[in-house]
Each structure stands twice: as structure tokens, then as C-alpha cells.
Structure 1
Amino acid sequence: MRYVLRYFGAAFVLTNVRGAVFDGETEQDVVKLIQATLECRHVSGMTVGIIKENETWTHGFGMADLKSGRPVDGDTLFNIASVTKSFTMALLAILLKENKLHWKTTVSDILGSEYGFIDDYRTRETTLRDLLSHRTGLANPDIGFMAGFPPSLSREDMCKRMRYLPEQIPFRDSYIYNNYLYMLLGHVAEKLGGDTWENLLMSRIFVPLGMKSTKILKKTSDVLASDMAHPYIYKDNSFENSTLDIYELHPAEPAGAILSSAEDMVLYLQFVLSNGKTTTGDQLVDPMLFREAFSVALPVVRGDVTVSKPTFPVSDVVGGYGYGWFESSYDGYRAVWHRGTLWAYYSIAWLVPEQNIGIFISTNGGMFKDDQYTSLTTTLYYLADLLLDKEPWLNSSTACSFPEPWKKVYKADSRPPENSPFLPDISEYTGTYGNEFQPDVVVTVNGSSQTQLNFESGR
């Protein structure tokens, strides 16, 4: 891919010169806003990929490696986290067509009696559709991802432990986001495809789409590779290296372990917008199966689902979840999207299908601050307005103040005072907690403190 090193304001930016998504003046406005956003939101690096009709635009901003001074460009890899889920869905769609199955096929029909859930009814009735749309009602103990699972525990072993996940709400009653369901879907793909999820993704999606750089996060040191945006946190007014030990998702990689670039992701977004067809004209997915994946399988009531212009005070809105994609709206346009977070990495893939528009944004630092996620959303809003031929309601100033001036932000310390009569005897909560599904959690009192608890689990 050919890049030009252009000078915008006070910085050089690596620009992909292919396509004509923006004219020169608009491009300068985009670069100015994103650079201002990274600075005021304390984000170390950002990559942006856009597709509109058949034109693409990719940009790198900030630093991929602060120590060496290596900048982000369109080929820099970021962890896309839960955007991975849509790839697992697409892979399943390919394999279902070959095996003459459908989304309503039960998990037990594919995996057999060795696999099950907390009760016989779920074990018998749960379909691929139920897993894809997060409607099993099973708990999602994400502490296992932070604590880590034993290296000797295979994906197959872990999927057989799904029977120990407790019920949180009744089956098919409502939506509960659950990473482990996509781990199980990855294993279903392995059974149908006769190979590992990783190899199947490579041969059935990455290679046919021309995604030459994309790979899977397998070990923690992968995030420090020379083609990666390294992970950072912003602490005490400076960037620090993120804790390395936590960048491993074994054995739940199908839920969030893809490493990709803006250049590769625009190819993927084009594939999705084309209803499963590659740029060379190969129809990889049955269009009927793919279309169903983008229809709402379950309503979702959450305040952060609908992507829309801000109206305050913000109230809960009804959005929906399909198969690996949310569905909502932006200023009257139908939008499908998914975001992903893995510690220092925040990403979003966003589509306006009827207008053939796709946006991918990923960042590598600013962790533990709301600012990093806000940098994604304000950049998305600004780009969406431009691509929809609307006057942007954000600028370099308000992108940094958002949600102000529309909404006043209050930050309060929610901890009770030390002498509060409502403080419990926290020693009552100490002990070892766990089940057969995940590593034990050991809870202890923090030294002489009577108000703080420590927990330890796995690594």
C-alpha cells in the first residue's frame, strides 16, 4: 500500500492516498479534529479505516511504540477485541452452508451429549441463534479472563465446563452479554470445519478477503511485536506500559482475540456491506444466512446502545442485538455496529448498510479513563456526519469537552466515609469463592483497613 507523509498543523501523519472519500480541505479538518482529540483525551495512538461505496481511506494517528517513536499507520495492528465476534459469526455462516445447517440448529445436534448447560431444558433447546444473540440467560464471569485459565486447559475442555455456568435470568428471557458463548461458537466451528478456529479463520476469511496482516493474539508478548500498536495506560499525567500479563484470552479467543489493521478492516467491512461477497466476486456466505445475522434477535435496553446525536438528559433507549452485531440508528439512519475492549485496546466497527458506509476505529492507550472511549465515539460522530453529507455538530473544541456543553459532568467520590454507620463488617466477605468453571477467587481484608478488600485469582 502506498502512503504519503503529509504535514498537518504541527505533526506528520501517514496517509493512504487510495480513493477520494474526502477532498483535501475536509481531510485536513478530519486530521485536525482527531489530533486534538488524542491530545485532550490522552490517547496514545489511533487508527481509522473508512469505506464509502468503493472508495477507502485509512489514517494513523499518534504512536504505536512510544519508546522507539514508531507512529501508527494504516498497517499497524490493534487488538479489535469483541469485534472478533462478528468474524466468528461469519465463519459459522460459511460452515453452516457447507453442512446444510441453519442458525436454529441446536448445539447438542452438533456437539453431542458431552456438552451441556446448567439444566436439561437449556441443554436440549439451545440453538446457535441463542448463543449468537446472548439470550441463554447464563452468567458471564469475566474475572476468568483477567485471572487467566491454566495453559493446559483446551478450548474443548473449557466448552465442556459450560454446564457449570449458573443461570442469571431465565432462558431466552432477556439479553446478557456473554463472552463464553462465543468461545463455544468457535468450538462449534471447529467441529463443523474439522480444524482449529484459528486455522479456519485464516483459510476461510482472512485469505479470501486479502487480509494479509491480520492474525490472532495467542500469547501476551504478541502485543509487543514490531507490527503492533503497543498497549499503554495514562496515569499521573503520563503514559506507562500496560501490564503485559493480562493480554491473553486462552481458550476464549473466538470472543475477542483478532489483531488487525485499518487496511485489513476496510476489506472486512466491504465484505460485510456486500452481504458476504469478496472484492473478487466470490460469494463466501449464503446471503440469506448473512441477512438474518443483521436482524434483531433480541431487544436490548441499555443507555449506550443507540448511537445518536446527544439529547440530554440521556435516557435508556431500546436497541437490538443480532448475531455479533448491535442494531440501532444514527440521526434517522439504520446503523449496525460492535465495539470491543481488551484492557488498553478500545475499538469500534460501525456500518450504515443502506448508504454503503463503514468506519473502523481502534486505540491503544488511555486505559482506565472514560476519555479513551469518548475519543472513539466523538471521532465516529464527526466522521459519520461527513460521510452522510451532514454538517458536523462537533468540532475540535467540543470533541474535547463532550458531553459538555450539552450535559454537565459531575464526578463524585461514591465511597462511604470511614465512620459511616452503613459500613458492614467486611471480614464477613473474606474467603475462597469459585466453582468448576473458573479459577478460585480468594478475598481478604486489605491490611489494617476496615473498608477495603483485596482479591487474588489465577495470575
Structure 2
Amino acid sequence: MHKTFESLPQAGIAVAVVKDGKVIHSKGYGVVSVESGQKVDENTLFAIASNTKGFTSAALAILVDENKLSWDDKVVQYIPEFKMYDPYITEHFTIRDLLTHRSGLGLGAGDLMIYPGGSDFTIQDVIKSFQFQKPVSEFRTRFDYDNLLYIVAGEVIKRVSGSAYTDFIQARILSPLGMNNSAPSFGTLVNKNNLALPHSSQNGTLKKINSYSHELTNAAGGIYSSANDMSKWLMLQLNNGKYGENQEKQLFSQTVQQEMWKPYTPISFKVVPDKRYRNHFVAYGLGWKIADYCGYITLSHGGGLPGMLSQTTIIPELNLGVVVLTNTQPGGLSHITLTRAIMDSYLGVEKKDWITLADRALKSTKSNVDSVSVAVWKTVEKSKTKHINFNDYIGTYEDHWFGRVAIFEKGDELWFQSLRSPKLTGQMFYYKTTTFAVKWNYTDMPCDAFATFNYDTEGKATSIKMKGISPNIDFSFDFQDLNLVRVDWKDIIQRIK
């Protein structure tokens, strides 16, 4: 742990280890905030982000046990307005398909509706959006991680149970397990006195950033939990859905757990040089990733929000579970390096310096990203002398699922603003040919983007295609999926100005 804090700037870390039915370790390290200096302990709450997906799957499993739905029920049975781009897929899309990342949609499709936080998109907007999102692969043939479909899964839970997703998670999972400090969402946090705050170490300096919050995303990544509470979640998984002092209670059956742990969607992977750690398969189940590690089957999931990274890993054959919660990005990828080190210690393999390997990988990625960024902004600087007629661009543009954006003039500068996700507001700089670089006001995660225009015969802009500038941009900034077409709502432009 000492080397972890030495390697790269870190704020706080919490670790839980469960082995053979006992909590072997549950402890906090570092601080909840570099500003307050308050220490992390075993009860400090962290955003567990996409580790929430296992809870969403478990909630559906409870309803399956109660014969209120089936994994293979069609989504339209519960949400009649659900509609995919292809009518055949709409008709055949099941509850199981909501959870297995094999919809045919692209990586992170539609995530701009929820990233960054602060948008006004609703569950009905999400449900409506799928009919406009073109698939990039055949249905049920390829793994592409998806958050929005888990949001739909949360809506299924609401409609079947009659309870809001957060109420169901609290009443049927957190409270029975005694996860008393945890909360199903940021909005339901009762006590924020021991709450880890997010930090960034992007440029080698540790700074606190804004907490991500969007109630729409609860079923995809909304839960807050601690090392202590997550140890109870690990115990539940290792005890086949049983809990209580003598495992006398059953949250969900072993039958539905086997469904959750079954590999449905193959995931491609790289062959690593060290033969000990080579995967033979990687796949996704229902809220869990299934793989092999040093000859053992593992169940795992990662979680990532701005300034919050976490990892949950289970090795059923060893009756071992590990959770690492952190509040720093990238933080030396300590949620991964610590998990690997703990697992290796129980597997009895020769000690490997995961921290140094992660540090090298991060430096290599940063070098690549920095070189691209420097080249882009050098080109922008050289292009400053080019005269741009702002009137050729000013107007309102609309995408079917993302809504309207405005291009407007402010202070002799050209600006871009999403009307539904106002954090996506930024100055536009001419780059080259028909492309501008947009520098967002939002800086908690690097997500600046290119905006490339098409024109009519008079040289007026008619549409915009976008993509992230950084080769390492988070996949949730899916600018490439936008198809912004000019609609010119003059009154909107006037109000913004």
C-alpha cells in the first residue's frame, strides 16, 4: 500500500478481502479529500459506479425467483414503447439482452445523454433514443459495453415491482444484507460526513473535482458503498445468494445465480507475454465479467466515474472476494494493481510488480495523448490568421436522440452549446479544412472534440459530425454517434446570446 501511494498521486483507497466466509481485511487508507484531510476508513462511502450493474442484475434475479418475470421475457412486454432501430430486434429483445452488452449498438452508444452529468434527459428520452441509434454489428454477435440498456433494466424493475429502482435496491438488497451505510444513489445519501470525494491526477497534481450525479443513471452506476458494506456483498455472492449469521436466509436462489454467472457474450482480449496470466476466455454474464486467471474462474466488474475507480473480484473456487475502492483518476490504476497483488498472494504465484507495469502503461498512454493534443493545438494556433465568416455557421443543429445544439457568437468568438446537456459548452477554434476544435468548459475529464461541417452550395454549414480529439477519450463521450443537422431556431440563438 505504501508503494501505491508513492507511485502516483492518490487521495484515498478502501480495501475489503473476504476468505472462507470471513472478512479478512476491511480498511481505509489516505483521505476523503485533499482539501479537508479527513481520513478514509472502512465505512467511508465511495461511488462504486458500474459495480452497480451486479446489483441491478440481482434485483431482476429476485423478481425471477418470485415468478414476476423471466430472463427471456421480451422487453416490450413491460415497456411497450421500447423500440430499437430494427423492428426485428425490438420484437425479440429480452431482459437478458438488456444485461449482456450484445445489442448490436456501438460502444457506449448514447452515453452523451448522461455524460457529463447535469443534462435534463429523462428515462422516456432514453427509451425513445434507441430507435434512432443505428447498430454497428449484428444482434447478439459482439460485445460492446452499454450503459443505457441498464437504465432500461432499472425501469423494468420499477414497472414490475411497483417500486422506484432506488427503493427496490434499498429494501430488497441493501437493508437485508445490513449494508447500512450504503445508498442506491447520490440523491439518497443520508449521511455525507464520511463521503469520499473525487480527485484527478491528470497532470501529476492531485486536485478535487466535482462529484458526478445524474439520477437517470442509478441502475447503471449509481450505488455508493464502503469497504465494510461491500464485504457483505462479496459474502452473499460466495454463499450462493445466502446471508445471515448462519446463512439461514436467501436473497436469491442458486439457480438464478448460475444464470448471472453464465458466460453469454464473448469478449476479445490480448495475449500477454507472461504465460501465467494469459486468459483462455473472457465473457460477460448478467452484470458480471467471467474470465480465467492463473487457472481459476473469476467473476469481476470494474467501475469508473470522474475521479472514482473501483474493482470487485471473486474467485469462487478459493472462496475469495476482493473489493478495492478509490477516489482518484487515474491514480496509478490502484484499483487494478491492488486487486492483482491480493489475488496473487492467495494464488501463491511469484510476486509481480503490478504498480510499475501500470505506471509504464499510463506514461505511455499519456505520452501518446499529449503528442496528439500538442499537434492539434499547434495547428489551431497556426490557423488563427484565417478569416472565418461566423454567419456561415451560426444556427441551431439537431440530432434525433441528443436534441439541439447551438452554434453562436460571443465576444467575437464562435461557441458550441448543447441545449440539453449544458456542461457541453465550449469555444470553437478553427483547425483546418472544414473542421473546428471545441474546447469544453467542462474539464473534469478530457473530452475536447472535433466538429467537422458540411456545407450547401452557398458555403453555409448544413450539418456537423464530431469525434473526440484524444485517442484515449472515455468511450462515454460518443461524439461520433451524433448526426447534427441544421434546423435554425433563431429565437434560441438570440436567448443564448
TM-score bucket (shorter structure): 0.7 to 0.9
Aligned to 1:401: 356
Q: How far apart, CA to CA, are the structure 2 residues paired with 1:324 and 1:131?
A: 10
Cα deviation code 1:296-316 (max 9, x no counterpart): 10101134xx9xx8629x999
- Aligned with 1:414: secondary structure? helix
Aligned to 2:474: none
Q: How far apart, CA to CA, are the structure 2 residues paired with 1:322 and 1:429?
A: 46
Q: Which amino acid aligns with 1:96?
A: V
Aligned to 1:27: none
Cα distance, 1:364 vs structure 2 = 0.3
Cα distance, 1:381 vs structure 2 = 1.4
Q: Which one of the candidate residues 154, 175, 190 is aligned to 2:143? A: 175
Cα deviation code 1:95-138 (max 9, x no counterpart): 12213532111111222x32222221111100111111111112
Structure 1 alignment gaps of length 5 or more:
1-33
Aligned to 1:249: 214
Cα distance, 1:434 vs structure 2 = 4.8
- Aligned with 1:85: secondary structure? helix
My pick for the range that moved more, 256-265 or 164-173, is 164-173
CA contact (8 A) 1:249 1:256 kept: no
CA contact (8 A) 2:102 2:141 kept: yes
Aligned to 1:5: none
CA contact (8 A) 2:379 2:431 kept: no
Q: How far apart, CA to CA, are the structure 2 residues paired with 1:238 and 1:456?
A: 21
Aligned to 2:95: 128
Cα 1:392–1:149 change in 2 (3 A) is: same
CA contact (8 A) 2:430 2:437 kept: no
Q: Which amino acid aligns with 1:339?
A: G
- Where do residues 262-273 of structure 1 align in structure 2 (5 Å cutoff)? 262-273=227-238
- Aligned with 1:292: secondary structure? helix
Cα distance, 1:169 vs structure 2 = 1.8
Cα distance, 1:74 vs structure 2 = 0.6
Q: How far apart, CA to CA, are the structure 2 residues paired with 1:250 and 1:439?
A: 20
Aligned to 1:239: 206
1:327 matched to 2:296: no
Cα distance, 1:436 vs structure 2 = 3.6
Q: Which one of the candidate residues 133, 138, 142 is aligned to 2:111? A: 142
Q: Which one of the candidate residues 278, 291, 313 is aligned to 2:258? A: 291
Q: Which amino acid aligns with 1:345?
A: M
Q: Which amino acid aligns with 1:437?
A: W
1:387 matched to 2:387: no
Q: Larger Cα Rg: Structure 1 or Structure 2?
A: 2
Aligned to 1:97: 65
Cα distance, 1:457 vs structure 2 = 10
1:55 matched to 2:22: yes
Q: How far apart, CA to CA, are the structure 1 residues paired with 2:190 and 2:111?
A: 21
Paired positions, count: 404
Aligned to 1:25: none
Q: How far apart, CA to CA, are the structure 1 residues paired with 2:285 and 2:82?
A: 24
TM-score (norm. length: structure 2): 0.73
**What is the aligned-residue RMSD (CA, Å)?**
3.4
Aligned to 1:85: 53
Q: How far apart, CA to CA, are the structure 2 residues paired with 1:405 and 1:243?
A: 28
1:414 matched to 2:372: yes
Q: How far apart, CA to CA, are the structure 1 residues paired with 2:442 and 2:379?
A: 34
CA contact (8 A) 2:166 2:185 kept: no
Q: Which one of the candidate residues 32, 39, 44 is aligned to 1:76? A: 44
Cα 1:432–1:347 change in 2 (3 A) is: farther
Cα 1:69–1:350 change in 2 (3 A) is: same
Q: How far apart, CA to CA, are the structure 2 residues paired with 1:359 and 1:149?
A: 33
1:107 matched to 2:75: yes
Q: Which one of the candidate residues 293, 296, 303 is aligned to 1:340? A: 303
Cα 1:125–1:149 change in 2 (3 A) is: farther
Q: How far apart, CA to CA, are the structure 1 residues paired with 2:36 and 2:99?
A: 41
Aligned to 2:274: 311
Aligned to 2:479: none
Cα distance, 1:227 vs structure 2 = 1.6
1:437 matched to 2:408: no
My pick for the range that moved more, 261-270 or 234-243, is 234-243
My pick for the range that moved more, 336-345 or 318-327, is 318-327
Q: Which one of the candidate residues 240, 246, 249 is aligned to 1:282? A: 249
Sequence identity percentage: 28
CA contact (8 A) 1:155 1:252 kept: no
1:376 matched to 2:335: yes
Q: How far apart, CA to CA, are the structure 2 residues paired with 1:146 and 1:406?
A: 26
Cα distance, 1:59 vs structure 2 = 1.2
CA contact (8 A) 2:430 2:436 kept: no
Q: Which one of the candidate residues 213, 221, 227 is aligned to 2:181? A: 213
- Where do residues 439-454 of structure 1 align in structure 2 (5 Å cutoff)? 439-440=403-404, 446-447=428-429, 450=432, 453-454=437-438
